[in-house]
Amino acid sequence: MAYTVRQLARLAGISPRTIRYYDEIGLLKPAQVSAAGYRLYGQAEVDRLQQILFYRELGVELKKIKRLISAPSFDELAALREHRAKLLAKRRQVDLLIANVEKTIALKEGKTTMTDQEKFEAFKQKMIAENEDKYGAEVRAKYGDEAVDRSNALLKNMTAEQYAEWQKLGEEVLNTLKAAMATGEPAGDLAQKTADLHRQWLTFSWNHYNKEAHAGLARMYVADSRFTAYYDDQIQPGAAQFLCDAILIYTGQQQ
Amino acid sequence: MAYTVRQLARLAGISPRTIRYYDEIGLLKPAQVSAAGYRLYGQAEVDRLQQILFYRELGVELKKIKRLISAPSFDELAALREHRAKLLAKRRQVDLLIANVEKTIALKEGKTTMTDQEKFEAFKQKMIAENEDKYGAEVRAKYGDEAVDRSNALLKNMTAEQYAEWQKLGEEVLNTLKAAMATGEPAGDLAQKTADLHRQWLTFSWNHYNKEAHAGLARMYVADSRFTAYYDDQIQPGAAQFLCDAILIYTGQQQ
DNA sequence: TATACACCTTTACGTTACGTTAAGGTCAAC
DNA sequence: GTTGACCTTAACGTAACGTAAAGGTGTATA
């Protein structure tokens, strides 16, 4: 069946305006245009729209969606499998929120206590390093207990002031890393300052710091795609690698 | 602990700009302002922000959030319980999407077939009436099998053209209902046309229509809060009641 | 004591993904 | 042959911020 704008919109549960907008930005072009100028969509467009909506559901910007699915290397099946993984992650996130709201209910009923930091924990999609209660076992098995002995207890045992300081340090690491990357020199002052800030940041959650473990974590940043994705996304592609290099130099552990 | 803008932002995992914006629109005002003009937030504001983020997570507009939590009748505990219910619904929605992506994967692997309407089914947050595969048992127990014998099979057995026609009718019901409500007369021409369109729409999924069942469904629209919420939200408050009245007159079943 | 430097402020314009008229052409149906 | 539901482009409006710009604040350090 060939769909007009409104028919396609109804099929997908979106507005006609959205369909036209997607044409305007070149995200979804009609299969053909009738003599009267009517947009007409076919099977390929229906499937493409479904892909688009999966990406949109997962919060991807339209510009990025366009880049992704227009790439000649775009693999529909692989994309669907990634959607699946992302949706599973999203469900875990919703589960966290449910746990959080339940704990907050208990708090309001006077049945428990909650620190300020706990109240917002589930809203943040955190870096894996701060999520070890969920990934801990996995990471532990891979990299040993040494580097992963911090956990949820951290949130409960830190005072609000300590937590604020910790968060601030985390932000500074990112800011300094960004500036350092602009220089392009992992051995430069800024990059070494980044590594030092990173050490200070770690010290909050590690009960004993040593250079070997620090360097080990740095290597993990490039080895584990979830870490890499986090830094590359927050800063720019290559950020995880750059940080790793800087830390290896800082700890004198580069071979 | 008293938080500055940036500290509160870090605590909640949002940007300082967002905090200031919430002040600007009167959604979250600081507990006090220092001599130098610095915003300072206390415990009550932290808790209010948590509530705000729960609503935001569920897609509620900031303007509406403000109305809700600023109302003198606002019950924090009741709101939290509603968040819980909505989050559970959201998880069901994500589950639907996961099922959909898995079926689509199977489709691309040539292991199954899928109609166009099935491809987008999970993206729509539908009215309960179209969701009977999930609520069916419940509604069935409450209102009998008579009115609820349509199901998922409908999507698979309708041709794309039939489905398009059905969707169109559904839209027309809403449009006509909107216009009819402006007249305020459930017995008027427009309202009766709405009831007739509603009958046609039903006929697509009911294998045998009769006035009694139609009137019964109309009564359910005001009895079941999920139906009421759907129509009241799509049109305006009172829409479900108005539609019910019109249908009762149309079917001659009003007492 | 000066000077970094990270913070704070307001003002104001930019952005994304559409919603919403407005003004006019198209097409199947009664 | 005229509704009435559709289609078109154009253009302005909106929500929820992001992003400088220009200037004041607070404190740690050289």
Residue A208: CATH number of its domain: 1.10.490.50
Q: Of chain B residues 34-63, which have a beta carbon within 7 Å of strand D?
A: 34-38, 56, 61-63
Check: complex ipTM more than 0.95 = no
C-alpha to C-alpha distance for B155 and B120, rounded to whole angstroms = 11
Res. A40: pLDDT tops 60:
yes
Rounded distance in angstroms from the CA atom of residue B190 to the C1' atom of nucleotide D1? 25
- Whether residue B126 is contained in a domain is answered as no
Q: Considering B27, B51, B70, which residue would you say is the last residue of a domain?
A: B70
Range of the domain at B238: 157-250
Say whether both A14 and A82 belong to one domain: no
Residue A41's beta-bridge partner residues?
Answer: A3
**Tokens standing for residue B40:** 């300072």
Segment A121-139 shows an average pLDDT of 57
Is B137 inside any structural domain? no
What do you get for the CA distance between the two ends of chain B, in Å?
A: 63
Contacts with A13 from chain B: Cβ below 8 Å: 120, 123-124
pLDDT for the residue A152: 57
**CA gap B202, A83 in Å, rounded:** 35
Residue A48 pLDDT: 97
- Ranges assigned E (strand) in chain B: 32-33, 39-40
For A30, A31, A225, the CA distances from A43, given in Å and listed in that order, are 11, 9, 35
Q: Tokens representing A224? A: 């584990």
pLDDT for A92 equals: 85
Check whether A65 has a pLDDT greater than 60: yes
Instruction: Give mean pLDDT, residues A188-216.
Output: 85
Does residue A139 share a domain with residue A211? Answer: yes
Cβ-defined contact of B94 to A94 (cutoff 8 Å): yes
Average pLDDT over residues A72-78: 95
What would the two tokens of residue A83 be?
Answer: 């959607």
- Whether A65 and A137 map to the same domain: the answer is no
CATH number of the domain that residue B53 is part of: 1.10.1660.10
Note whether A94 contacts B80, CB cutoff 8 Å.
no
Q: pLDDT grade, residue A227 (50/70/90)?
A: confident
Residue B135 lies in a domain: no
Instruction: Verify that A175 and A223 share a domain, yes or no.
Output: yes
Instruction: Please return the burial class of A61, using the count of CB atoms within 10 Å of its CB with bins 0-12, 13-18 and 19+.
Output: exposed
**Higher-scoring residue by pLDDT: A206, A140:** A206
Mean pLDDT for all residues in chain B: 85
| Strands of B2-44, DSSP E | 32-33, 39-40
Q: Are residues A45 and A79 in the same domain?
A: no
In a domain, residue B83? The reply is no
In this complex, the residue of A53, A87, A123 whose CB is nearest that of residue B53 is A123
What is residue A231's predicted lDDT score, i.e. its pLDDT? 83
Q: How many domains does chain A have?
A: 3
**Mean pLDDT lowest for which of B1-15, B155-169, B233-247?**
B155-169
Give, as ranges, the nucleotides of chain C with any atom within 7 Å of a protein CB.
6-10, 16-20, 25-27
A143 and A213 assigned to the same domain: yes
If asked whether residues A33 and A80 sit together in one domain, one would say no
A131 and A244 share one domain: yes
How close B19 gets to chain A, by Cα (Å)?
A: 15
The Cα-based distances of B152 to A147, A217, B111, B230 in angstroms read: 51, 50, 20, 20
